[in-house]
Structure 1
Amino acid sequence: MMFSNTLTLWTGALLILSVSLWSCTTAHNDGAADCCLTTSNRRIPKKVVTSFTIQTGDGACSIPATIFITKKNLKLCAPFPSENNWVSKLIDHILAGTLKNPPQKPRGKKQRQQ
C-alpha cells in the first residue's frame, strides 16, 4: 500500500513537470521574438537597407513599427511611417528601387520558333 502511494505521488509530480515544460516551450514559439519592442528615431542610411515590413501593433506585437532589413540581414526597428517623415522617405526609396529593377528573365540561348 505504501508503494502505490509513493508511485502515485511520483507519477503526479512527473505529469505536472511535463505539462509545465510543454507549456513553456509552446509559449516561446508564438512568434513574439520577431516583434519590435521599442523603436529608434535614429536615421538609417539608404545604402544599407534592402527591404522592410510593417508591424501594426495588433496581436502578439504590441507597438506599431517599421522593421527595416539590412544587407547583413539585421532587423532595425523604426517608428511607424505616419509618425516620422524620414521613415516614409526611406520606404519610398526602397519601393522605387524595386520598381526600377524588376526581376530579370533567365538569359540563355534563344530558341527559334517554327
Structure 2
Amino acid sequence: MMYSNSMILWTGALLILSVSLWSCTTAQGDGAADCCLTTSDRRIPQRVVTSFTIQTSDGACRIPATIFFTKKGFKLCAPFPSESNWVSKLIDQILAAPVSKARKPKGKKPRQQ
C-alpha cells in the first residue's frame, strides 16, 4: 500500500497538535494547591516549629488557617491567628526569635605564620 504525501502530512500535523495539547494540559494540572482542609486547636510547642505561613480562603483554599512547619518537615494546620490566641502568641515568638547563623565548620584551625 502506498500512502499519499498529503495523508502523511495530515497525520504528522495531527500528531504534533495532539502532543502539544497533551503537554499543555499536563502542565496546568501540576498547579494543585496544598491546602489545610481542617485545623486542630491542639497547641504546638515552639521548640518544634521552624516557620509558618498564613492560608487565606480567598485563593484556592477553602478555609483560613495557619500552617506551621516543623523541624522534621511536617505541616501542621492550626486556626487563623485572629481565631486563636495561642496561634498569635506562637507567631509572635517565631518572629521574635533570632535568626540562627551558619555554623562554622569543625576541624583544625589554620596556623598563623
Fold match, TM over 0.5?
Answer: yes
1:65 deviation in Å?
1.4
CA change 1:11–1:77 in 2 (3 A) is: same
1:28-81 deviations in Å (ceiling 9; x for gaps): 1x372xx32313313322220122111222333343211111112322222211
1:2 deviation in Å?
5.1
CA change 1:14–1:92 in 2 (3 A) is: same
Q: Distance in 1 between matches of 2:99 and 2:11?
A: 66
Q: How many residues align?
A: 100
Query: Unaligned regions of 5+ residues in structure 1, if any?
Result: 105-114
Alpha-carbon RMSD across the aligned residues, in angstroms, is: 3.0
Which one has a larger percent helix, Structure 1 or Structure 2?
1
Q: Does 1:12 align with 2:11?
A: no
Partner residue, 1:67: 67
1:71-110 deviations in Å (ceiling 9; x for gaps): 12322222211222332232233234x2xx3667xxxxxx
Partner residue, 1:27: 29
SS in 2 for 1:66: strand
Partner AA of 2:72 in structure 1:
K
Q: Distance in 1 between matches of 2:44 and 2:11?
A: 58
CA change 1:37–1:67 in 2 (3 A) is: closer
Partner residue, 2:37: 38
Check the 8 A contact 1:36/1:77 in 2, yes or no.
no
Check the 8 A contact 1:68/1:76 in 2, yes or no.
yes
